[in-house]
Every structure is written in structure tokens, then in C-alpha cells.
Homo-oligomer: A and B are copies of this chain.
Amino acid sequence: MSRSDVNPPSSSSNQIEGRVLRYAQMHSIVQEGFWRRFSSLKLDSLQLDESPIEIIGFYAPCSHAKVPNRLMLLEESLPSDLNGQSSSSEFSRGNRNRCSVPGIIYNMNTLESFQALDKQMLLKTEAKKIWKDICSGKAEENPATLSRFLLISFADLKKWNFYYWFAFPALVLDPPATLVNLQPARQWFSQAEGESVSAACNEWRRSSATTEVPFFLITISSNSQATVRPLKDWAHCQHDNEKLFFGFYDPSNHQNNPGWPLCNFLALICSRWGITRVNFFCYREKYGLADLGLSLVGEALLQVSEGGKDPESMPSTIGWEQNGGKSGPMCISLAQSMDPIMSAEFSAGLNLKLMRWRTLPSLNLNVLSNCKCLLLGAGTLGCQVARMLMAWGIRRITLLDNGRVAMSNPLRQSLYTFDDCHNGGDLKPVAAVRTLKRIFPAVEADSIVMSIPMPGHPVPPHESAKVLQDCAQLEKLIASHDVIFLLTDTRESRWLPTLFCANLNKIAITAALGFDSFLVMRHGAGPVIIRDEAEDTLGMSSLSTKDVDRPHRLGCYFCNDVVAPIDSTSNRTLDQQCTVTRPGLAPVASALAVELLVGILHHPDRINASGEIGNSVGGSGEQPLGILPHQIRGTFSQFSQITLIGHASHSCTACSSTVVSEYRRGGLDFVLQAINHPNYLEDLTGLTDLMKTASSYDMDWDDGTDLDDEI
């Protein structure tokens, strides 16, 4: 034990009688679990709040001649959440090695404010609580309040460095106590007394009611019988024929110095009871039993101060912990010792949780992390959307594609590298998932290698079974996800997913690129279709459905079209097969697509939320994330971007109630019809008639420039 552990420094001589009584300092130890839970509390609940939090430290009597006991902070020292501020319910009371000490933590938001704290004032504040409890008698009722501690800290959650400094407030008697005598208890007591004291203390420690009570009285009757009693019994211990000792659980292992708790105990004894000559008993253990060789008994002289027990005349206070002999804060870095995956998971949430501190308190990270996203297409858009989803805290991502990574891909498709291109190229969704896990090992990412059946790409009879199987798999995938991103490179590949999303009322988000312009949109909710029960019960052979669709349902990607999707991939030149778009387009569209999703997930109406227009006057109450548009269209040639609303079309080939109910009736046979005979959809929806009457107009987005990737 270094000399600095004793405050004020004790003389090195063994001649301690008649000298000032010096106490062995209390020391602290903080387990990593404490800082981990504290970090979560800070990020999730406290955020910018710098109010102090009540915490609980634990200590026990010294149990080893060479090792003092320390005040320990554990995970359970903190409340698990701040609503149930007191954490006392969580840890089981009655643990003999965890006598609780009330404490408080002042955690500052910056290193600068940590350093600028008024430490003397804080220490005094805590000491005042002790003094008040002494004066009021509360300390007699609950002696645990005689010891308190104070922790100031700055938690650098980015680097996992924790700066902290403990104080154990001690009321300084003035003048200080004088030590008349101090020796091992075994020498002080007669053998009979000693045995009786040991037995009584062991009993005290054994009883769950008292094992945690660190201050007590010991009386020894004239027949050497020792009794341990609570402090509140003091008034009943004033018998002339009994010796009275003031006992406490002593964390110190020091032979010449009692531990720190005695300091405040003496303040109580002196102020509350006016005693000037005190026999104290430093209770220490070995193998869980009283060890009278290690325990000390001392006799000290006190002097009652003028203020007495006046709450206003508190003695002066010391107690900031000395660390390795010098006074200053400690710093511990947990970056190295943490499990890297866990650390990644924590850090991944850091930026998002910080958003909630100030700018976006309503951000619902649970909704995001539980959301299952299916990405159709793992090309330029798919790669970037996956990255954006992860950055927003979305953890469950399935990527679907049937392509392989080509040499020209890595420069634009941000999940691939040169190494993925060898030997014909890795399968895109497999390579993409591999990279997602390299970025964030805890992501739950899956890859699906399949192609999406497309209208206008007729299926020869011998392949029908395979295509129908693909359809069924796709529908199952869509059903098992919450959000579907349509990120393929052709119009026609978006048709089947759009139909399935409309049928299952799933959130669908489309991103499509032209050469220097893009479209990002969310599909509206699916149509409401109610089977006409009356007709049904009459046994009509053709089941009839009644369209009671929502009046202002938002449109899907196909709602503006006057032609059914057809084969746009055949006979295309190289520049029509490849991503001939300005490179910046895909990241912009992908980012907006994911921001749009985050907006939907935070809107109370979710998929049914009506479309909003940017900077619209008198719009509905804006959400914290801003407006929730239906369509965002942008162009690089003007560096402009606009929001649009388009309502669902009754003759839409993908989401109209006609098509959806026909699908419900015909199932995959209907899909096969649509795939093999594009006119079928146009006839069904009335587009054929429409085209005869209306002159079709040129559509900016759909004239074959809607290309993202290779076929």
C-alpha cells in the first residue's frame, strides 16, 4: 500500500498512539459493464441531458491481508432505464459482498465541461447529504447513507474512452480525532471476548437483514458475551457493565489505519451522540468469516465542535480519490477490450442515436431495425440502396438478382470490387451480401438468385413450370418482407412485383434512371376489393368482385402508362444494354428512395399517407422528417428536383382493382397469360379502347432509357 493511500499521510512509525487518526483511502474499481450500460443510457435516454443520476456502488469488508476492498461499479449500479430511476429493485439485496453505497454520477457532454466542473462544490453537495442524515437521525436508521460517493465523468462514445474521477466525501472533524490506541482485535480482546465477537459478527453478516448494514454497535457484557446491534439501538446500550464498540465493515487492509468509512462514522458518533472517547472496531474478514487478526480495535478521542449537530455548520470535507499517488481524473479505453462485433453494432447505431439527441427526437430506430427490405436488383441502384438502408439502421436486407459481376460494374455498383469479377464474375446478390457483412458484420442479409418473370417475354411451354415457380417464389418473398424496392433495369421486370405489392398491400418504392434524370416514387396502397357475397352465395359460376377502391389512392409506377409493359431488352445496342446514365444519378436516386422509405415508416398513415408537395402552402401537418412526397423527379441538366403526386389509374396494368382481382381469381395462370400476351393486359384494363380514342403522348421516363444495369 502506498503512502498516498492514507490521508492525511500517516507516520511510518508504529508508534501511533496519541497521534492524529488517519484513514486508509477508499478506492474505486469500475467494471466494463458499467460503462457499457452507461453508454446505452447516454445515447438512448439521457442524450444531451447533463443532470446527475443516482447510482449505487458496492463494497464489502476487506477479506485479504494484502488486498483492500474497493468500491465497485457494476452494470447493476445503473438503472436499466431512467423511468424506473432506482435500480435497487434489480439487484438482489442481501448479497454479503455487495453492500450498497449511494452515489451520484455527473456525466458531462464534453471533455471541456468535465474539466470545468466545480469539484469542491460537488463534493460539498454530497457531503451535505451525509451531514443532513447524521443530523436528522436518518443515518442511524439507515447507516448505508453514512458512506456516499460521487463520480464525475465524460464518456467519449465515439472512441470508447471514459474519463472519470471518484470522490468519497468525508466529514473532517475539527480538531481531528486523536488515536489513543490501535491494535489487532485479537490482541485487544480476551480470547472469550474475541470468540464471542467473532460469532456475533458472523451472525450479523450471515443474516440477510443485516449483512449489508456496514455500521453497527457491539456490546460485550461482563461475562464476555458479545452482541451486535443496529445503530438505532445506541440509546439502549448505555450500560455501565458493558463495553461498547462502534463497528463498521472496513474495506482497508491496512494494519495501522482504519478505512475511510470510519471518518463519517466518527462524525456521527461525535455530533449526534456527543461521545468524546470512542472504541471502534474495524471489521475485516477471511474466507467470509470475521478475522480478528486482520480486524482492528482502536480507541480515539474526539472533540465535540461548537456547531454540534447543527445542519448549517457542516464540517469541512475531503474525498477526491487519488489515483496512483496523484490527484486527477482516470481514463479508461474500452475500444480494445470490447468484442469487435458488439462494438460494431454499438457504433453502427451511434450516429442514428445521436440524431435523437437534438435534431430528431422522434426517430424510431426500432421500426427501422425491424423492417425487412427486399431489393429487386443488385446493380447500381441496388448496391447503393442497400448501403443507405444500413446507414439508416435497417438490418434485414434481402437482395435479389440473377446477374454476375462484370468488369465494368465495380466503378458504379458500390458493393463490388475487381476481385468479384474474376472467372466470369460472382453472382451479384452473393457478392453484395458478402460486402454488406464486411461493412457491418451484424447485418441480416440474404441473397436470392433468380430472374423476375416479365410480360412481353413469352415463355415456351416447357419452361412454364420454372417460370411459375419463380412467380410463386417472388410472391412468397414479397409477402415475407415489409418493403420492396424496385431497382431493376427494365420497365417490364417491375410489373410482377408491382402487382404482388398491390395485392399484398406492401410498401413498394421504385427508383428509375434516365440519362441525366431520375424518378423515385412510392407506390400507393393496394386496391380495396370486396367480394360480392350476395352473388357468391347464389352460386354464380364466375365469381364477381366489386371495386370499392379508395378514392384518392396514390398511383404505382405503371399508373401513367397507356401501354402494357413489353419486351424492351431485345435488339438493343450496347449503349442501350448498359448503364448509360450520368454516374451521379444512381447515388442520388438511391439516397432519395431510402429517405422516402424512412419518411413512410415514420408517418402515422404509413402506406396510406397521402402525397405531399414540397413547400406546399396549407399542407397537412409536416412530419419531423419533412414532407412525404409521392414522386420525386430530378434532372442534372438543370440541377433541379420536383415533387409530384399521381393518383392510381383505373386502367393501370399493374395495380388497378381490375388487374388485382383478376390475379386473385386466376392466380399464376393469369400471370402466365400476361407474360405471354401483352395485349391481354391492355384488353383487360381497357387501355386498348383508350388508345383508340386518345392520342398517346410521349413519356419522359419510359422510352427505353429506364436502364440501370445489364439485362
Query: Which residues of A line the B interface, CB within 8 A?
Result: 47-48, 109-110, 112-113, 156-160, 335-336, 340, 343-344, 346-348, 350-351, 354-355, 357-360, 384, 387-388, 390-392, 406-408, 410-412, 414, 416-419, 421-424, 435, 438-441, 515-516, 570-575, 577-580, 582-585, 587-588, 590-592, 594-595, 598, 614-615, 622, 625-627, 629, 632, 634-643, 710
Contact = CB atoms under 8 A, between A and B. Distances in A.
A364 to B, nearest CB: 14
14 contacts: A110-B573, A112-B571, A157-B574, A335-B424, A347-B408, A348-B408, A355-B515, A417-B435, A419-B438, A582-B595, A587-B588, A588-B591, A595-B636, A639-B643
Given A584-B591, A641-B641, 18 more contacts: A347-B407, A348-B411, A350-B408, A354-B575, A355-B575, A355-B580, A357-B575, A384-B587, A387-B414, A391-B584, A417-B435, A418-B438, A418-B439, A588-B588, A615-B638, A615-B640, A622-B637, A638-B643
A422 B340 CA distance: 8
A417 B439 contact: yes
A424 B273 CA distance: 57
A156 B574 contact: yes
A391 B580 contact: no
A577 B411 CA distance: 31
Given A574-B157, A595-B582, A412 B391 contact: yes
A591 B585 contact: yes
Contacts of A359: 515-516, 575, 580
Contacts of A582: 595, 598
Return the 10 tightest CB-CB contacts between A and B, nearest first. Answer: A626-B637, A584-B591, A347-B407, A391-B583, A347-B408, A109-B573, A354-B575, A614-B638, A641-B641, A587-B587
A184 B614 CA distance: 89
B588 A594 contact: no
A169 B350 CA distance: 73
Contact of A344 (B421, B438, B615): B421
A643 B638 CA distance: 9
A680 B1 CA distance: 55
Nearest to A636: B595
A344 B407 CA distance: 6
B588 A354 contact: no
For A418, A441, A590, the residue with the greatest tally of chain B CB atoms inside 10 Å of its CB is A418
A440 to B, nearest CB: 6
B640 A639 contact: no
Contacts of A571: 110, 112-113
Contact of A438 (B110, B388, B391, B417): B417
A147 B112 CA distance: 88
B590 A594 contact: no
B626 A574 contact: no
Contact of A634 (B157, B411, B641): B641
A515 B627 CA distance: 15
Contacts of A419: 438
Contact of A358 (B414, B575, B583, B643): B575
Nearest to A623: B637
Contacts of A411: 348, 351, 387, 390-391, 439-440
Contacts of A636: 595, 625-626
Contacts of A634: 641
A110 B710 contact: no
A598 B440 CA distance: 33
Contacts of A351: 408, 411-412, 578-580, 583
Contact of A574 (B158, B408, B439, B629): B158
Contacts of A160: 407
Nearest to A628: B639
Contacts of A588: 587-588, 591-592
A392 B411 CA distance: 9
Contact of A587 (B110, B388, B406): B388
Contacts of A441: 418
Nearest to A632: B639
A577 B158 contact: yes
A503 to B, nearest CB: 29
Given A110-B571, A351-B408, A388-B583, A627 B639 contact: yes
For A347, A579, A629, A635, the residue with the greatest tally of chain B CB atoms inside 10 Å of its CB is A347
Contacts of A360: 515
A625 B635 CA distance: 11
A406 B584 contact: no
A710 B158 contact: yes
Contacts of A584: 388, 391, 590-592, 594-595
Nearest to A352: B583
A592 B578 CA distance: 22
A554 to B, nearest CB: 15
A346 to B, nearest CB: 8
Nearest to A363: B582
Given A584-B591, A587-B590, A638-B627, A572 B110 contact: yes
A571 B598 CA distance: 32
A407 B417 CA distance: 22
Contact of A418 (B340, B579, B598, B638): B340
A417 B437 CA distance: 9
B635 A639 contact: no
Nearest to A626: B637
For A343, A350, A642, the residue with the greatest tally of chain B CB atoms inside 10 Å of its CB is A350
Given A411-B439, A643-B639, A516 B157 contact: no
B407 A578 contact: no
Nearest to A387: B414
Nearest to A406: B158
Contacts of A622: 637
A298 B87 CA distance: 111
A574 B109 contact: yes
Contacts of A640: 614-615, 641-643
Contact of A626 (B583, B615, B632, B639): B639
Contacts of A418: 340, 344, 438-441
Nearest to A705: B359
A626 B595 CA distance: 26
A380 to B, nearest CB: 9
A516 to B, nearest CB: 7
A577 B358 CA distance: 13
Contacts of A638: 614-615, 626-627, 643
